[in-house]
Structures are given as structure tokens and as C-alpha cells.
Amino acid sequence: MKKVILYSTLALLFTGCAQNVPTHDDAVATIKNGKESPQTRSQFTAPHTQGTVRDNWIKTFRDRKLDRLVTEGEKNNPNLKVAAARVERAIALTNLTSAGLMPTIDMGGFYHQNNDSGSREISWGGFAVSWEPDVWGRVSNLVAADKAFTRSQMADLEYARQSLAAQIAIDWFNLNANSRIYEFNKEIVKIQKKGLFILTKREEIGKGNKRDVHLSNALLASAQDSARAALDAKERSQRALEVLIGRYPAAKIDPAKLTRSLPKIPSGLPAQILERRPDLIAAQERVAAAFYQEKSAKLLKMPNVRLKLGIGPNSINDAITSLTAGLFAPLYTGGAIEAQVATATAEQKEAIAAYADTALRALQEVENGLASEKHLAARYTYVSTMVKEYKTAYDMTIEKYRVGESNILDILIIQGKWIKAEIIRMTIAKQRLINRVKLHLALGGSFNAHRADLRPKAKE
């Protein structure tokens, strides 16, 4: 009969705490119920393409070297390893908290030697089992909080992976653009040297003047300065990319052609962004963790039940030799419990507000990216027309100068406009690529074929 009562009591203690642990849906519902809940719309206001957001966006650039760089960076980037270590730490802390739900078992014994008589005695005192049942669910709520925090760290890791891939792509396009601008400036240096040579010869035979030679010398120096600055920018881009993928910053990585082909991408719906982006999932899980922390803090006012069982070697027929139980309730703690509840409540409010801020910034990033897609495309068309017209006018002015119908100043003015327009066009081409990368990241698209599902799959 004693065993039946004991086992029934243990079963009740094991199952009683489950009633006080809310579900994950209850925990995150505080976001929707709060005043800070982010406002969304049925459609984006900026021009966009309908359809579901696609994953594996890196492949859309059709750049195998970029694919390899992303793979290398994912393997070697130190910051990504830091994020992975944080996930491991969160899992370990969850296991540590979960251990508080289980009994502890100690084994007793002693060894005694009497030096005078030479006698020795070894005794085994048996086992001592102690347990503080989580009757009200306080520890279970802490475990739920740790699990939510672990999921937030996993989402942070996934966002770090996606952000790393995006930054590698951005640095790669920066390198390619800076390399192209450097090569273009070298061509300008050649043109200026050729012009200086012609003007010098014309001056020597009496068909030119010193003033034009001095102007040409100054323009050559200016072109050389621009080329040197472009080379510096190229090398900085190389080192930035090398560090990002875990290499020594030696400015040795080779650039490639600047990609110009940009297929349209579907943008999905604003509400879907909240479910796709890992940083928003992480913020949501931090809200859930704060919710469970507050729930656990409020349960500190409830009494604790402590059980202790002794199992000794002399109890062959009935292994339980002693069972003691105690009930301990906090009467006065100097306001400590109230302070913990207030702290947990404030942290929950902070997590909800942080989620709302993250959501609004995410929607802003998408709207900015979609708008810039249109603006940059239009600017690229305009500037391409500028380049074509200035280059044509430059060539025509050169011909007029050769037949004496123009002067060197006309050439220099139009040449400067053509050079500036060409550099602007290359810069806009780079900006279009970078904006596309940022838009993919803002939409929550993964650079892999399949994105990780970071949402809880089972009931808490």
C-alpha cells in the first residue's frame, strides 16, 4: 500500500508541472496583442513583381567563382564560427536547466583503518536520492525559455550565414567594378600620353603652343592620379574579400567581368517577410524566451516540495529505507521576488519592442530595395545614353581638331564629360548588383537551394 501511494504521488508530481507551461503560440501571441505590433500591408508599395520569394539566389548571377567564394567563406569565416559556438553554448545551457527537473542520486560509503590493531573496515552506506519536483512548472518554464533562446541563436546563425553570403557577393562586385574602373583609367592614361606626344610634336614644328602642352601634361598627371586611386580601391576590395573568406589579406584574388544581367525576382507579400527572415525569427524567439522567463519569475512565490529517499543495503525486501518530504514557501524575501518579476516583465517589453523595430526595419529594407531596382535601372539607361553621346562628340571634336576647326580646350571639356559618364555608368552597374543582393537578403531568400526551417515543429 505504501508503494502504491508513493508511486501515485510521484506520478502526480511528474505531470503536475505540464499544466503551467504555455505553448509556443501563447508565448509569441504577446507580439500581436501588444501595441508595438508591426503594421503590414497586403502588398508592397514600391514597384514589384508578384510571386513567391525564391531561394538559391546566388545562382541567379551565373557566376561560378562567386559560388566558390561563398562556399569558402562559409567554411572559414571566423565570425560565422563565433555564431555557431553560441548555438552550442545555448544548447548546453538548456541541458543544464533541464537537469533541474530530474532527481539527483548520491552514493555513500567510507573506508576506515585502525593503525593500532591493523584492522580495516569498508562500508557502503547506500544511495541517497533527492528531488525537488517542479510542481508549479517554474523550472519547466525556464527550460522552455532556454529552448526559445536556443532557437533564436540558431536563427541568428542562419542569418549570419545569409549575411555572409550577401557580403561576399557585395565585396566581389565591388572588386570587379573597381578593377574595371582601374582598367578604364589606365586606358585614359594611354590616351593622355598619346595626346601629349602629338601636342609636343606640333609645338616643336611650330603648329602648336606651349600652353596646350602644359594643359596636356596636367591632364596626364590627373589621369595618372585617378588610375593610382582606382588601383588603391581595387586592392582594398581584394583585401576585404580575402579577409571575409578567411584568407590572408594579400590583395591577390583575381577579379572577373562585371555582371550586368539581372533577371526579375518575385517579392512575395509583406506578411511573409516576418516568417521568412531569420533575424525576425530570432527576434520572435527572444520574445518567447522573455515570456517564459516572466512566467517562471511569477512562480517563485509558490511553495517548493522537496523529497529525499534513502536506499540502504539492509533493505532487501523493501529498498526504500527512508522517505522524507518538506514543503517550503517564501514568506518574506525583502522584495527580491517582486524585483525579479519586474525585471522579467521589463525584459519582455524590451523584447517585444525590439521585434517591432526589427520588423519595421526589415520592411523598410524591402521597400528601399524594390524602389532602387526601378530607379537604378532608369539611371543606367540615361547614363548609357550620356556615354554614347559624349563619346561620339569626343571623336567628332578630335577630327575637327585635326583639320583645325577646334581647339584643345574643346577636346578636354568633352573628354572629361565622357570619362565621368563612363565611370558613373560602371558605378551604377555595381550599385544595381549590390542592391539586388541586399534585396534578396531583405526578402529572406536563402543563398542555398533550400532554406533552413527555424520555426518550432512540435508543441512545447
pLDDT, residue 423, reads: 94
pLDDT for the residue 241: 96
Q: What's 37's DSSP letter?
A: P
Give the span between the Cα atoms of 71 and 58, in whole angstroms. 11
Q: Return d(Cα 41, Cα 289) in angstroms, integer.
A: 28
CB 279 within 8 A of CB 295: no
> What is the reported pLDDT for 253?
95
Q: What count of other Cβ atoms lies within 10 Å of the Cβ of residue 40?
A: 16
**Least confident stretch, 17-21, 245-249, 257-261, 434-438:** 17-21
pLDDT digits (tens, 9 = 90+) for 103-121: 777 666 555 555 555 555 5
Q: Please tell me what DSSP assigns to residue 105.
A: E
pLDDT recorded at residue 112: 53
Mean pLDDT across the chain: 82
Q: How many CB atoms lie within 10 A of CB 283?
A: 24
Contact between residue 290 and residue 347 where contact means Cβ atoms under 8 Å apart = yes
- Could you give the angle at the alpha carbon of 142 between the alpha carbons of 137 and 147, nearest 5°? 120
Long-range CB contacts (within 8 A, 24+) of 448-454: 448/55, 448/56, 449/55, 449/56, 450/55, 451/55, 451/158, 451/276, 452/154, 452/158, 452/278, 454/151, 454/154, 454/155, 454/158, 454/278, 454/281
Spatial separation of the C-alpha atoms in residues 261 and 291, rounded to whole Å: 47
Q: Give the length of the chain.
A: 460
Give me the amino acid identity at 43: Q
* Least confident span in 84-88, 178-182, 225-229, 258-262: 258-262
Q: Percent of the chain having pLDDT more than 90? A: 39
Q: Are 441 and 161 in contact (CB under 8 A)?
A: no
Taking CA 403 as the corner, what is the angle to CA 401 and CA 409, rounded to the nearest 5 degrees?
15
pLDDT for the residue 315: 44
Q: Is 444 helix (H, G, I), strand (E, B) or coil?
A: coil
Confidence label for 7 from pLDDT (cuts 50, 70 and 90): very low
Q: Which residues contact 173 (CB under 8 A, 6 or more apart)?
A: 258, 259, 430, 433, 434, 437
- pLDDT band of residue 173 (cuts 50, 70, 90) is very high
pLDDT at residue 34 in the model = 61
Q: Helix, strand or coil for residue 362?
A: helix
Does the pLDDT at position 17 exceed 80?
A: no
Average pLDDT value for residue range 29-43: 73
Select from 76, 106, 167 the least CA-distant residue to 440. Answer: 167
pLDDT confidence band for 5 (50 / 70 / 90): very low
Using a CB cutoff of 8 Å and minimum separation of 24, what contacts does 323-328 make? 323/6, 327/303, 328/303, 328/304
Task: DSSP for 296-361, please give it.
Answer: HHHGGGSPEEEEEEEE-TT-SS--EEEEEEEEE-----TTHHHHHHHHHHHHHHHHHHHHHHHHHH
Residue 458 has pLDDT above 60, yes or no: no
Query: Identity (one letter) of the amino acid at 366?
Result: V
The predicted model scores a pTM of 0.83
Q: Is 52 helix (H, G, I), strand (E, B) or coil?
A: coil
Instruction: Give the model's pLDDT for residue 41.
Output: 79
What digits encode the pLDDT tens for the residues 390-414? 999 999 998 888 777 888 888 888 9
Question: Which residue has better confidence, 305 or 381?
Answer: 381
At 118, is the secondary structure helix, strand, or coil? coil
Domain 2-109+121-443: give its CATH superfamily.
Outer membrane efflux proteins (OEP) (1.20.1600.10)
Domain ranges of the chain: 2-109+121-443
Distance CA 191, CA 208 (A): 18
Contacts of 299 (CB under 8 A, 6+ apart): 20, 136, 137, 138, 141
174 to 162, 180, 181, 220, 244: CA distances (angstroms)? 18, 10, 10, 26, 13
pLDDT at residue 312 above 70? no
Q: Examine the pLDDT at 228 and tell me if it is beyond 90.
A: yes
